[in-house]
Structure 1
Amino acid sequence: MQLSATPYEERLTAPRSWWLISFLVGVSFALILLPFGTLPMLGGLAGGTAAAAVVASSYGSVRIRVVGGHLIAGEAKIPVAALGDAEILDAEEARAWRTYKADPRSFMLLRSYIPGALRVDVTDPADPTPYLFLSTREPERLAQALRAARDAAEAA
């Protein structure tokens, strides 16, 4: 069954401070190239800033979507029928599940600059992944979208 609308979509963009850091990387490249003259210095500023901005943008371009009966988190695409209960994690619990409670077999979409997360059990017996750990700014909305998609898949 194909759902007609996307019930949930989130892009885990990099925080604003990373763009300032990108500019500072460009400034440091400019300072390194300062002894070679004005043109190399300006090239270092532009090139260093652009390179750091590309890295920040690519790291922050990952998406989490629930569409067409599937959860798409980064490169992973999992049918919602293979997912169990979702547990909303506050900042402290999310940190615990990222560190000492973490299972190395789990799928983790981590973004350290996002405090909240959602932990979703994988119920497919053929899948060795015990759970998904997804950093998200809106864990309640994601959990609700997963429940709605799972209910729609079961009703079909």
Structure 2
Amino acid sequence: MSVAAPQTSAPSPAVPLYRERLTPSVPVWIVAAVTGAIFGVILVPISVVAAVVVAIAMAIAVCVALAVTSPLVEVTGEHVAVGRARIEPELLGAPETLDADGWAETMSTGFEPLAYHCTRGWLREGVRVPVLDDEDPTTAWVISSRRPEQLALAVLAARERA
């Protein structure tokens, strides 16, 4: 009796190769909660109880708003998606990882007005991926990331699948 070796197939193109939500850093969460709580201070002359309730509710509301509006970066075999923007991997060139110095230059003297930017002030690294489509006026995608090397590798892997 022989046992057949399990067949391994390539992962589905829809399975994420990379996924990251660009949520704020801890200091930003603290500032957001304090900013929301400040709304309660307005009500202290009227009612301390109302002030505390409003402060807690607004701190939670501001933090929820930050979480909900944090964009998702996702790379699959079918697309690279950043927030609501999507592009096919075959339309992208080789990604360039940007360390803190490269990121600072890209965001200042090397800023590309025609590039698609999804950047967050609390992240100091990212990836720049040139757009190869001649019909697309966008020159590149510049994306903030906590793990730029992994994002660049995922984009490369998606390009190879295409």
Q: Give the alignment's TM-score, normalised by structure 2.
A: 0.86
Counterpart residue identity of residue 42, structure 1: V
Question: In percent, how many aligned pairs have the same letter?
Answer: 30
Counterpart residue identity of residue 34, structure 2: L
Q: Which residue, out of 4, 27, 39, partners 1:29? A: 39
Q: Is the 8 A contact 1:69 1:150 kept in 2?
A: no
Residue aligning to 2:22: 12
Counterpart residue identity of residue 99, structure 1: S
Superposed displacement of residue 29, structure 1: 1.9
Measure, in 2, the Cα distance between the counterparts of 1:13 and 1:126.
33
Superposed displacement of residue 23, structure 1: 2.8
Matches within 5 A, 1:1-156: 3=13, 5-59=15-69, 61-153=70-162
Superposed displacement of residue 3, structure 1: 1.4
Higher helix share: 1
Where 1:10 maps in the other structure, the secondary structure is strand
Q: Is the 8 A contact 1:94 1:116 kept in 2?
A: yes
Counterpart residue identity of residue 112, structure 1: G
Which segment is superposed worse, 45-54 or 141-150?
Answer: 45-54
Q: Give the alignment's TM-score, normalised by structure 1.
A: 0.89
Give the alignment's Cα RMSD to 1 decimal: 1.8
Structure 2 spans left out of the alignment, 5+ residues: 1-11
Measure, in 2, the Cα distance between the counterparts of 1:105 and 1:125.
13
Superposed displacement of residue 24, structure 1: 1.5
Residue aligning to 2:6: none
Measure, in 1, the Cα distance between the counterparts of 2:122 and 2:50.
34
Larger Rg over CA atoms = 2
